[in-house]
Structure 1
Amino acid sequence: MTAAEARSATDAPRRRPHRFVVAKVDEIPPGERRIVEAGGREIGVYNIKGRFYAMLNRCPHLAGPLCEGQVVNAVESSGPGDVRLEESRTYVTCPWHNWEFDVETGRSYWNPRLRARPLPVGVEGGAEIEAAMERGEVDRIPGPYRAEMIPVSIESDYVVLSLRPARGGTSS
Structure 2
Amino acid sequence: MSTRTLYPVSICPANELTPGCRKIVTIDSLPIVIVNMDNQLYAFLNMCPHQGAPLECGSISGVMMSPEPHQYEYGRHNEVVRCPLHGWGFDMKTGVSLFDPKLKIKTFQVKEENGSIVLLLKRQPADITIKDWQPVCS
Q: Are 1:19 and 1:139, in contact at CA under 8 Å, matched by a contact in 2?
A: no
How far residue 144 of structure 1 moved from its aligned partner, in angstroms, is 5.4
Following the alignment from structure 1 to structure 2, what is the Cα–Cα distance between the partners of residues 98 and 63? Answer: 13
For 2:16, the equivalent position in structure 1 comes to 27
Following the alignment from structure 1 to structure 2, what is the Cα–Cα distance between the partners of residues 144 and 67? Answer: 12
Following the alignment from structure 1 to structure 2, what is the Cα–Cα distance between the partners of residues 47 and 63? Answer: 23
For 2:79, the equivalent position in structure 1 comes to 90
Following the alignment from structure 1 to structure 2, what is the Cα–Cα distance between the partners of residues 57 and 123? Answer: 21
The structure with the largest alpha-carbon Rg is: 1
How far residue 38 of structure 1 moved from its aligned partner, in angstroms, is 2.0
How far residue 60 of structure 1 moved from its aligned partner, in angstroms, is 1.1
Following the alignment from structure 2 to structure 1, what is the Cα–Cα distance between the partners of residues 130 and 91? Answer: 28
Following the alignment from structure 2 to structure 1, what is the Cα–Cα distance between the partners of residues 13 and 126? Answer: 14
TM-score (norm 2): 0.73
For 1:110, the equivalent position in structure 2 comes to 99
| Aligned 1:127-146 pairs, distance under 5 A | 142=129
Q: Are 1:54 and 1:119, in contact at CA under 8 Å, matched by a contact in 2?
A: yes
Over 3 Å counting, the alpha-carbon distance change for 1:75 and 1:144 in structure 2 is closer
- Do structure 1's residue 44 and structure 2's residue 36 form an aligned pair? no
Tell me, which stretches of 5 or more residues in structure 1 are unaligned?
Answer: 1-16, 130-136, 146-172
Q: Which of 107, 113, 135 in structure 2 is aligned with 1:124? A: 113
Over 3 Å counting, the alpha-carbon distance change for 1:49 and 1:140 in structure 2 is farther
Q: Are 2:25 and 2:131, in contact at CA under 8 Å, matched by a contact in 1?
A: no
What amino acid does structure 2 have at the position aligned with 1:39?
D
Over 3 Å counting, the alpha-carbon distance change for 1:108 and 1:99 in structure 2 is same
Q: Which of 63, 66, 85 in structure 2 is aligned with 1:74? A: 63
TM-score (norm 1): 0.60
Identity of aligned residues (%): 29
Cα RMSD between the aligned structures? Answer: 2.8
Matched residue pairs, number? 120
Over 3 Å counting, the alpha-carbon distance change for 1:50 and 1:139 in structure 2 is farther
How far residue 94 of structure 1 moved from its aligned partner, in angstroms, is 0.7
Tell me, which stretches of 5 or more residues in structure 2 are unaligned?
Answer: 1-5, 119-123, 133-138
What amino acid does structure 2 have at the position aligned with 1:118?
T
SS at structure 2 position matched to 1:23 = strand
- Give the 4+ runs in structure 1 shifted more than 2 A: 17-20, 137-145
Name which structure has the greater RCO, CA cutoff 8 Å, separation 6+.
2
SS at structure 2 position matched to 1:121 = strand
Higher helix share: 1
